[in-house]
Amino acid sequence: MKTRDMNRDWIATAATLNSALPYLQRYDGAIVVIKLGGHAMGSDEAMESFARDVVLMRQVGVNPVVVHGGGPMINAMLGKLDIQSEFVGGKRVTDKATVEVVEMVLSGLVNKRIVQAINGQGGSAVGLSGKDANLMVCDQTDPSLGFVGSPSKMNPKVLHDLFSHDVIPVIAPLGAGQNGETFNVNGDTAAGAIASALKADRLLLLTDVSGVKNAAGEVVTELKAGQIREMTLEGTIAGGMIPKTETALDALHSGVRAVVILDGRAPNAVLLELFTEHGAGSLIRPD
């Protein structure tokens, strides 16, 4: 006969599961788009943890979509191939040689690494890019930047088809041009466009910061779209946070219910945000 004493850790775990029930019910059947980048892609351990979180989401009835970046990997490959980059206004010019490397790295190396990690945790993931099934058709953003695109037409049917078979889409931010070109798309922009096309319940932007901060340097846990605009005009929101908040505002305007800019360095950040009362970043809602 075995005996076992209940300890505080077990009791706390049971209490956490119990308190998650209303959140599990709330997100049953919901579409959640996750922009993966930064720390969560930086190590095998972080990737494994993220993949487990995504598989758990699918297991409890959420329809997750992963959209990823890969800038550091692209830079490394360009360096290995001795392909020099030019910059206009601080932005990389993506010429024909560069966009070929971008597609090779994003649709190949990075995308399949994420797919493999999710499948390794018992999920069923399929990798694709915005070029597949005309998911994301793009116009050229600026001729001076070369093959950099802005989404102009979305066709999310392929994603709904994957949801119906319990498959997790993993999407590289590449788009098809009207004349068969391949366009590189900013990862946050791509995630926002996909979330908008799906009318997602949540768009989660994983970053390497703790969230949107006020003038005192404190993370603001809940904001309205109007407050974001005010903080940007005041200069409180600046630098690399501006593109993320602009993505958030565009997504909200297009029908996404809420956007969260959250700290991807925190263990299980996605689960904390969705299934606990604590959250893990800054929740932005429409006015």
Which segments are annotated as binding site for substrate?
70-71, 92, 184
Rounded-to-integer distance, Cα 190 and Cα 213, Å? 24
Residues 6 or more apart whose Cβ sits within 8 Å of residue 140? 147, 148, 149, 150, 177, 181, 183
CA distance 245 to 237: 8
- What own/partner pairs with CB < 8 Å and gap ≥ 24 does 47-50 have? 47/113, 47/114, 47/117, 48/117, 48/120, 48/121, 49/267, 49/268, 50/117, 50/270
Give the span between the Cα atoms of 64 and 186, in whole angstroms. Answer: 20
- As a whole number of angstroms, the distance between CA 55 and CA 191 comes to 19
Distance separating alpha carbons of residues 233 and 226, to the nearest angstrom = 11
Contacts (Cβ under 8 Å, ≥6 apart) of 225? 248, 249, 252, 253, 284, 285, 286, 287
Angle of the 96-103 helix axis to the 71-80 helix axis, nearest 10? 120
State the binding site: 70-71, 92, 184
